[in-house]
Amino acid sequence: MQRIAIIGEGPAALSTAEKLISAGMCVDLITQCTAPFGLLRRFAGLAGVLGDAVTGSHCGPGTTPRLRLIGNVHVGAEGDITHNEIHRLSAAGDR
């Protein structure tokens, strides 16, 4: 199953995550926020799909959640990881 990373926690990021999860993909949501589950409460309209992804839906037969929230990560020139590092570490194409 394909896993995609989204950097950010705004409405566009959560809406994109919802669409990807609905399409059967797994999503890593990377955010500066230290309490990412508060994001789900902030956007109650997405609670159905995203809530299920966090609480019970899984990717494949293992225990990998369809939505992983990775908080307290700063992306950018002065952050924990730079955009160039992300591009260098990302997959060149589908696997």
Map out the domains of the chain as residue ranges.
3-89
pLDDT digits (tens, 9 = 90+) for 20-78: 988 889 888 888 887 655 665 555 555 555 555 554 454 554 545 788 888 888 988 88
Return the pLDDT at 31.
Answer: 87
**Are 6 and 14 in contact, with CB atoms under 8 Å apart?**
no
Return the pLDDT at 68.
Answer: 85
∠ at Cα 85 (94, 78), nearest 5°? 145
Return the pLDDT at 41.
Answer: 58
Separation between Cα atoms, residue 95 and residue 93, nearest integer Å: 6
pTM: 0.67
Return the pLDDT at 43.
Answer: 55
